């Protein structure tokens, strides 16, 4: 997989650095015109965090639903709060260990926030919020594989679990496979994105200036 800015500038044709003023485009490269209504600071994070989230929602066939849980609200998680709300989630629940991030999550569309450092069981709290129904989607954005077990327990029957953060090697966990089978859970993993996801991300952000950073 080729990514502009990820190739050594010492190699031919040299115009590949992330800070280069010019670049030689490879055949088949996608180019999108940025709307004048979006500033540089709004657009810059979209090529990584924003488009990765959109790609994860696409591969898991995200649809309007009752409950979405976001595990971890760094840049990826904040976009997930905003995009899932914008795409039809009635209730978004954000989970993190940092109060400042959770306050930001509210601004990005979260209806409920849970701080796991506050001696609150995130699984029990999520089930309480969902009237014991469980969430339709749980999206992992923490990079911490230990939260996967909790995420699976938060899902309703037929729910979907989307992994976008746990990309580190040797991220081994132990889970109850029967839980996945008996609850008919679907699990998706996504790293990076197709260029069309970037196009969709630009459209989402342009449609809702609430996502402004």
The rounded distance, in Å, linking the Cα atoms of 43 and 63 is 25
The rounded distance, in Å, linking the Cα atoms of 31 and 28 is 9
Q: What is the pLDDT along the chain (213 residues), one digit of tens a residue?
A: 677 777 777 777 777 766 777 778 888 889 899 999 999 999 989 988 999 999 999 999 999 999 999 999 999 999 999 999 999 999 999 999 999 999 999 999 999 999 999 989 999 999 999 999 999 999 999 988 889 999 999 999 999 999 998 877 777 888 899 999 999 999 999 888 888 999 999 999 998 764 444
Residue identified by tokens 């996945």 is 180
- 46-189 — its CATH code? 3.40.50.720
The rounded distance, in Å, linking the Cα atoms of 170 and 213 is 34
Domain residue ranges in the chain: 46-189
């Amino acid at each position: 997989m080729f990514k502009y800015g990820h190739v050594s500038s010492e190699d031919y044709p040299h115009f590949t650095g992330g800070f280069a003023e010019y670049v030689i485009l490879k055949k088949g490269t996608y180019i999108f015109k940025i709307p004048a209504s979006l500033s540089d600071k709004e657009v810059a994070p979209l090529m990584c965090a924003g488009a990765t989230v959109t790609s994860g929602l696409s591969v898991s066939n995200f649809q309007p639903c009752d409950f979405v849980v976001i595990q971890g609200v760094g840049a990826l998680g904040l976009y997930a709060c905003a995009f899932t709300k914008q795409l039809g989630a009635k209730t978004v629940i954000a989970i993190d260990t940092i109060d400042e991030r959770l306050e930001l999550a509210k601004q990005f569309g979260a209806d409920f926030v849970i701080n796991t450092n506050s001696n609150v069981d995130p699984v029990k709290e999520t089930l309480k919020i969902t009237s014991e129904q469980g969430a339709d989607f749980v999206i992992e954005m923490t990079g911490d594989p230990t939260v996967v077990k909790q995420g699976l327990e938060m899902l309703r029957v037929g729910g979907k679990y989307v992994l976008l953060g746990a990309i580190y090697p040797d991220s081994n966990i132990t889970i109850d496979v029967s839980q996945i089978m008996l609850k008919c859970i679907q699990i998706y993993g996504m790293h990076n994105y197709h260029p069309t996801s970037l196009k969709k991300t630009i459209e989402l952000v342009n449609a809702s200036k609430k996502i402004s950073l």
